[in-house]
Structure 1
């Protein structure tokens, strides 16, 4: 990697393992060619966890995260659809939306519409039987909070799920969509405005506005709907993400669990909160 970068405007000035963590390599460059640096990094460490930054890495003042397939291992609407016998059909639409092939709002309304008539109690069953956090999610959130970091869960999914997940993981604020329910059944509609990619970015910017100009932010997501939020944050983390989201991010987790971010932020494991 050093040889590959030697002839670019991003030569390697220093490379060493972090003292407190034997599996984190810190590489410093006096150059400014981020594209060349990223290309070399991916060529030599294709299956890795990393953050690329222009300034020394700092613990963020704000952490904003997507929920489905990021903080939890599932897509809630796909799992809920299984209770209506529609998982395969709805999951196909979800995948295309995450890849950035479909308009998010249209795809969301189409999927929700297919669930018309499903008993609201299926959501409780789904939460209990299907939904589980990704490894390291709670440790990440709680550890960041002990360092004074504000934590926000923002999802294109639904409050029925997100409120429960946020409480389990320790998030301080939740932003998401609301399923319309009448007579204990889903109507196939939504209540209020849509939480989409622009909402995710605006939530990040709103929270940063409160924290001040020098606040450092970290955002995590996996799909196309997360791209504006990832691009707007100091550290945009693509968690086992779709190609478009990964390309847009300046950090990624492909190898480890969510506690990899604590290592990359140089927080020793002895300080993690279980």
Structure 2
């Protein structure tokens, strides 16, 4: 059984659903039932007795684009674990790009960031190259950057605090830096932070990192470790936007691509492309009266 929950343009909902049902009618993934959820008038639930999640995902994307959606192989419920990327997911910026602007290098660093997010560059080498360009930058630039430029995305705190109120464990895992992530996690409400550490000596960045790199493998490992602690029946949800998030998205029960790059979009069984982060609460069937934050 496949279940999809969808928020799309109301004007295109009926025609899109008819087109999708026609496409899937003779497939192994026919649509058995489709109806708006009672608790929220803009969430359409679609049910199929089939098992081809990729086929259902392709059909939904073809009929409704852009949309907000979550597809699962069983009843959708509030997860026991939420693991999220930070840059361009929980916050609207790429921290290293904004920090580089204080060194007059934003364009150069942002070009490397974009290629890494698209999956065109090896993450670790791209990270070390960008960090190396920041050598000699005063540590105070980090604090200025946080104060002046870094802002949570709309709905981030409400999403995290509401999930916590429902018993969900929340973890922020980032290929970015603890200097930023620790502050962001406190603002939004995450319970654990995993990220990289910039090396600082005598108040200046050295262009080096401290310790092991937090990369795509680390993100996946953190998710798997947290699920193992919670027990085999734990349901996980992950959110991200770039190629570095793909293993984590694929390993989670609900992998959500947030305004994501194409490769991350294709790896996810959920996506947000119209609304803010609170649409995930709607897709999880959490009434707005229960939202926190």
Relative to the length of structure 2, the TM-score reads 0.93
Pairwise CA distance, 1:33 = 2.0
- 1:5-16 paired onto structure 2 within 5 Å: 5-16=24-35
Once the two structures are superposed, the pairs formed by residues 1-274 of structure 1 within 5 Å of their partners are 1-274=20-293
User: Larger deviation: 258-267 or 29-38?
Assistant: 29-38
Partner-residue secondary structure (3-state), 1:117: coil
Whole-angstrom distance in 2 between the partners of 1:33 and 1:234 = 15
Whole-Å separation in 1 of the counterparts to 2:222 and 2:37: 33
Q: 1:8·1:33 contact (CA, 8 Å) conserved in 2? A: no
CA positional deviation for 1:35: 2.2
Deviation by residue 1:155-194 (Cα, 9 ceiling, x = unmatched): 0000000000000000000000000000100000000000
State whether residues 14 and 28 of structure 1, in contact with CA within 8 Å, keep that contact through their aligned partners in structure 2: yes
Q: Which runs of 5+ in 2 are unaligned?
A: 1-19
- After superposition, give the CA deviation of every residue in 1:212-231 in whole Å (9 maximum; x if it has no partner): 00000000000000000000
Given that residues 4 and 40 in structure 1 are in contact (C-alpha distance below 8 angstroms), is that contact kept between their aligned partners in structure 2? yes
Output the CA distance in 2 between the equivalents of 1:35 and 1:212.
27
Over the aligned positions, Cα root-mean-square deviation in angstroms equals 0.5
Hey, what's the Cα distance between the residues in 2 that align with 1:209 and 1:125?
39
Please say if residues 115 and 188 of structure 1, whose CA atoms lie closer than 8 Å, have aligned partners that are also in contact: yes
- Find the aligned partners of 2:32 and 2:259 in 1 and give their Cα distance: 29
**Matched pairs, number:** 274
Q: Secondary structure at the match of 1:52?
A: strand
Question: SS of the counterpart of 2:72?
Answer: coil
SS of residue in 2 equivalent to 1:57: coil
* Distance in 2 separating the partners of 1:105 and 1:40: 35
**What secondary structure does 1:238 align onto?**
strand
Structure 1 runs of 4+ with >3 Å offset: none
Q: Matches of 1:140 and 1:32 in 2, distance apart? A: 29
CA offset at residue 40 of structure 1?
1.3
